[in-house]
C-alpha cells in the first residue's frame, strides 16, 4: 500500500471514529396530565397505578403510541415502571444535536486543503438570510442530479421491508 | 327664438363636436402607439407558455388575472424559481449519498400521495437552522440540522410527508392567491429565466433578467418568511401522518418529531424561522391527537439503515 492510500485509510478511520451521530438515549420527561400507568402498551391491559401531573419520568423506549417509562429510585420509595400514552409526556428541555452531517462533508473540506473546523456561527435560515438570497440555478441542477425513479424507490422500499397500506391489506386477505 | 340665440346654440354644438372628434382622434393615436410599442417591444408576440402570453411580460406590473388557471407546468416552474432562491440562501450538503437517500425516502412517500407523477425532488440544505420547506411542483427541502436530530428513517419520512402534503394540496399557490402576496403575483413567477429573456424585448437583457430575478426573489422571501396559513400547516400534519402510515412507516414517528422539537428551547435561534411560520409543536400534537388511534400500528422505523447513511 503506497503512502497516499495509507493516508486516505487513516483519514477515513479517523472520521468514521469521530462520527457525530448520537445513539438513541433515555430521555427525561414530565407528565402533562394525570395518567394511568399500564402493564402493557395497551389501554386494555392492567393499570398499575395512577401518576400525577408534573411527575418526572424517564422514557426508555416507545412502542406505537406508548412510552415505556420508569421513575427515579431516588424520588420514589418503590420504583415504578410501565407504559403511558405518549401524548401524556412532555420531554424536558434538551440541547439540540450539532455538527456536520455525514463524514464526507469533512472529507470535502479537507480536499480543499484545509482541516475540518467546528462551525461556531449560525449558518442558518432566517429572514435576513432570505433577504440576502440570490436565485442559484446551479444548485437546482445539482438537486435534479439526485432525483430517483419510481422503480428505484420501490426497490429501496423492498430492501427496507416497507409495505404500503394497500399491500398490507392484501397480505391480511 | 332670436337669430343670435340659434347662432349661440350652433356654436356650442360645433364646439362639442370638435371636442368629440379630438377625443376620438387622441384615443386612436394612443391605441396605435400602444400597438406599436407592443409590437416593437416583443420579439415573439403571441408565444405562450402555459396560459401566459410572454409578450405581456414586457409590462413588469402585469398581474395574473386568474391565479386559479395556473397549469402544472407553470406550477413546476414556479417551484423551480422558489427553490433557486432557497438554495441561494444555503446550498445542498456535499454528501451525495445523503441527498440520494432522502430522494429514495421521499419518492417512496410521494408514490402514495395524490400526485405521484410530479417530478419530485428532495434536497438536504446545509444549514444549522432546524426547518424544512416545500416549493410548488414537487420540490422538498430539509435542513441538515433537522436530520441531525433524528434517530431513524421514519422520523425523516415524517417531515418529508408533511412537506409533500403542502405540494399536493397546493398550499403555496393558495398563499399567493389569497394572502398578502396577491399583489406580488406577476407572470414572471411562472416562467423560466430563459423564456423570460428570450421573449421580452429589452435593450438590455441583463436589466430584464434582474427584474425577473428581483420578482422571484421577493416572492420567495415573502412566502418563506411569512409562512403558510395555520390551517394549511395543521392539514399537512393530519394528511402527512396518514401518508406516513400508508407508505409503511411507523406513523408515531410524526409525534416523536413534534415532541423532540417541543423539547428544544424556543429561544434557540435554530428554530426561529420555524416558530415564526408554524404553530407550536404542542398545539400541533393537540390537533392530531384524535386521529392517532385510527392509524395502522405496524409500520417500520428503520433506525439501522438511517444510521448507516448518516454516520
**Chain segment A32-62, per-residue pLDDT in tens:** 999 999 999 998 999 999 999 999 999 999 9
Inspect the interface and report whether the beta carbons of A164 and B246 lie closer than 8 Å: yes
Query: Hey, what's the torsion of the CAs at B224, B225, B226, B231, to 10 degrees?
Result: 50
For residue A108, list chain B residues with Cβ-Cβ distance below 8 A: 94
Out of A94, A136, A165, the one facing B246 most closely (by C-beta) is A165
Side-chain half-sphere CA neighbours of B266 within 13 A:
10
In degrees, to the nearest 5, what angle opens at C-alpha B100 toward C-alphas B94 and B103? 125
3-state secondary structure of A102: coil
> How confident is the model over A88-131, as pLDDT tens digits?
999 987 777 777 676 444 333 333 333 333 333 345 667 777 77
Q: What pTM was computed for the model?
A: 0.76
- Cell numbers 360645433 correspond to B14
- Mutation for testing the A interface, residue in B78, B82, B85, B89 having most A CBs under 10 Å: B89
CA distance B176 to B185: 7
Helix B230-246 and helix B171-178, axial crossing angle in degrees, nearest 10: 170
Mean pLDDT of A73-91: 80
Quick one: closest CA in A to B192, which residue? A137
| A66: nearest Cα among B212, B293, B147 | B293
Chain B 230-259, CB below 8 Å of chain A: which residues? 245-250, 252, 255-256, 259
Distance, C-alpha A146 to centroid of its chain: 23
Query: Mean pLDDT across chain A, nearest whole number?
Result: 73
- Mutation for testing the B interface, residue in A20, A24, A125, A160 having most B CBs under 10 Å: A125
Q: Which residues pair with A90 in a beta bridge?
A: A30
Mean pLDDT of A26-33: 90
Inspect the interface and report whether the beta carbons of A92 and B92 lie closer than 8 Å: no
Min Cα–Cα distance to chain B from A16, Å? 7
Instruction: Cell numbers for B59, please give them.
Output: 409590462
So what's the pLDDT on residue B16? 54
In chain B, what is the greatest distance between 2 CA atoms, to the nearest angstrom? 109
So what's the pLDDT on residue B123? 98
Inspect the interface and report whether the beta carbons of B107 and A148 lie closer than 8 Å: yes
CA distance B211 to B193: 10
CA distance B278 to B25: 58
Inspect the interface and report whether the beta carbons of A153 and B123 lie closer than 8 Å: no
Question: B176-208: b or e for each residue (b if 16 or more CB lie within 10 Å)?
Answer: bbeeebeebbbbbbbbebebbbebbbbeeeeeb
CA distance B303 to A18: 19
Instruction: Cell numbers for A41, please give them.
Output: 402498551
A99 neighbors B51 (Cβ within 8 angstroms)? no
Chain B 131-190, CB below 8 Å of chain A: which residues? 131, 139, 143-145, 147-149, 151, 153
**Which are the contacts of B237, defined by CB distance < 8 A and separation ≥ 6?**
B162, B254, B284, B287, B288
> How confident is the model over B77-115, as pLDDT tens digits?
999 999 999 999 999 999 999 999 999 999 999 999 999
Q: Which of A23-27, A161-165, B149-153 has the lowest mean pLDDT?
A: A23-27
For residue A58, CA distances in Å to A70, B261, B265, B286 come to 5, 18, 19, 22
| A13: nearest Cα among A118, A115, A101, A107 | A107
Q: Which residues of chain B have pLDDT under 70?
A: 1-68, 178-186, 197, 199-209, 266, 297
Strands B52-53 and A89-91: unpaired
Min Cα–Cα distance to chain A from B91, Å? 7
Inspect the interface and report whether the beta carbons of B108 and A153 lie closer than 8 Å: yes
For residue B218, list chain A residues with Cβ-Cβ distance below 8 A: none
Inspect the interface and report whether the beta carbons of B310 and A102 lie closer than 8 Å: yes
So what's the pLDDT on residue A37? 94
Min Cα–Cα distance to chain B from A155, Å? 9
For residue B81, list chain A residues with Cβ-Cβ distance below 8 A: 135
So what's the pLDDT on residue B185? 61
Strand ranges across the sheet with A66-70: A47-51, A35-38, A81-85, A66-70, A56-63, A27-31, A89-91
Min Cα–Cα distance to chain B from A44, Å? 13
Min Cα–Cα distance to chain B from A122, Å? 6
CA distance A67 to A89: 8
B119 neighbors B150 (Cβ within 8 angstroms)? no
Strands A89-91 and A27-31: antiparallel
For residue B193, list chain A residues with Cβ-Cβ distance below 8 A: 135, 137
Flag whether residue B84 sits within 8 Å of chain A, measured between CB atoms. Answer: yes
**Which are the contacts of B137, defined by CB distance < 8 A and separation ≥ 6?**
B72, B75, B76, B77, B78, B79, B80, B118, B119, B167
- Mutation for testing the B interface, residue in A41, A132, A143 having most B CBs under 10 Å: A143
Burial level of A115, CB count in 10 A (0-12/13-18/19+)?
exposed
Inspect the interface and report whether the beta carbons of B248 and A168 lie closer than 8 Å: yes
Burial level of B222, CB count in 10 A (0-12/13-18/19+)?
middle
So what's the pLDDT on residue B275? 74
Inspect the interface and report whether the beta carbons of B217 and A147 lie closer than 8 Å: no
Inspect the interface and report whether the beta carbons of B272 and A126 lie closer than 8 Å: yes
**Which are the contacts of A63, defined by CB distance < 8 A and separation ≥ 6?**
A41, A83
B273 neighbors B129 (Cβ within 8 angstroms)? yes
Amino acid at each position: 500500500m503506497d503512502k497516499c492510500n495509507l493516508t486516505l485509510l487513516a483519514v477515513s478511520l479517523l472520521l468514521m471514529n469521530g462520527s457525530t451521530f448520537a445513539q438513541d438515549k433515555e430521555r427525561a420527561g414530565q407528565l402533562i396530565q394525570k395518567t394511568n400507568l399500564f402493564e402493557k402498551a395497551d389501554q386494555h391491559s392492567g393499570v398499575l397505578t395512577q401518576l400525577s401531573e408534573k411527575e418526572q419520568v424517564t422514557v426508555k423506549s416507545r412502542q406505537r403510541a406508548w412510552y415505556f417509562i420508569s421513575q427515579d429510585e431516588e424520588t420514589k420509595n418503590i420504583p415504578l415502571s410501565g407504559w403511558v400514552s405518549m401524548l401524556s409526556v412532555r420531554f424536558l428541555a434538551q440541547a439540540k444535536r450539532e455538527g456536520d452531517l455525514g463524514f464526507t462533508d469533512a472529507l470535502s473540506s479537507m480536499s480543499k486543503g484545509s482541516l475540518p473546523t467546528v462551525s461556531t456561527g449560525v449558518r442558518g435560515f432566517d429572514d435576513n438570510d432570505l433577504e440576502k438570497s440570490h436565485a442559484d440555478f446551479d444548485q437546482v441542477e445539482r438537486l435534479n442530479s439526485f432525483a430517483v425513479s419510481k422503480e428505484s424507490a420501490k426497490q429501496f422500499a423492498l430492501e427496507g421491508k416497507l409495505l404500503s397500506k394497500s399491500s398490507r391489506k392484501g397480505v391480511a386477505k | 327664438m332670436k337669430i343670435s340665440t340659434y347662432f349661440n346654440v350652433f356654436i356650442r354644438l360645433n364646439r362639442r363636436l370638435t371636442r368629440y372628434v379630438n377625443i376620438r382622434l387622441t384615443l386612436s393615436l394612443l391605441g396605435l402607439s400602444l400597438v406599436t410599442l407592443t409590437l416593437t417591444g416583443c420579439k415573439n408576440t403571441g408565444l405562450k407558455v402555459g396560459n401566459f402570453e410572454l409578450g405581456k411580460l414586457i409590462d413588469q406590473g402585469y398581474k395574473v388575472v386568474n391565479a386559479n388557471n395556473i397549469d402544472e407546468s407553470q406550477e413546476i416552474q414556479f417551484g423551480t424559481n422558489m427553490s433557486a432562491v432557497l438554495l441561494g440562501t444555503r446550498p445542498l450538503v456535499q454528501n451525495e449519498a445523503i441527498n440520494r437517500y432522502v430522494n429514495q425516502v421521499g419518492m417512496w412517500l410521494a408514490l402514495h400521495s395524490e400526485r405521484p407523477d410530479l417530478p419530485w425532488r428532495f434536497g438536504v440544505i446545509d444549514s444549522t437552522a432546524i426547518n424544512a420547506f416545500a416549493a410548488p411542483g414537487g420540490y422538498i427541502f430539509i435542513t441538515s440540522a433537522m436530520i441531525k436530530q433524528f434517530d431513524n428513517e421514519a422520523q425523516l419520512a415524517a417531515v418529508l410527508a408533511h412537506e409533500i402534503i403542502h405540494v399536493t394540496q397546493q398550499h403555496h399557490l393558495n398563499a399567493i392567491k389569497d394572502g398578502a402576496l396577491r399583489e406580488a403575483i406577476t407572470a414572471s413567477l411562472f416562467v423560466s429565466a430563459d423564456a423570460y429573456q428570450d421573449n421580452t424585448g429589452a435593450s438590455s437583457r441583463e436589466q430584464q433578467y434582474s427584474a425577473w430575478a428581483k420578482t422571484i426573489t421577493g416572492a420567495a422571501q415573502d412566502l418563506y418568511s411569512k409562512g403558510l396559513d395555520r390551517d394549511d400547516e395543521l392539514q399537512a400534519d393530519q394528511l402527512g401522518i396518514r401518508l406516513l402510515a400508508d407508505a409503511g412507516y411507523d406513523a408515531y414517528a410524526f409525534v416523536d418529531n413534534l415532541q423532540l422539537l417541543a423539547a428544544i428551547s424556543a429561544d434557540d435561534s435554530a428554530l426561529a424561522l420555524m416558530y415564526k411560520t408554524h404553530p407550536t409543536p404542542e398545539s400541533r400534537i393537540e390537533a392530531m391527537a384524535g386521529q392517532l388511534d385510527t392509524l395502522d400500528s405496524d409500520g417500520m422505523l428503520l433506525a439501522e439503515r438511517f444510521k448507516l447513511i448518516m454516520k
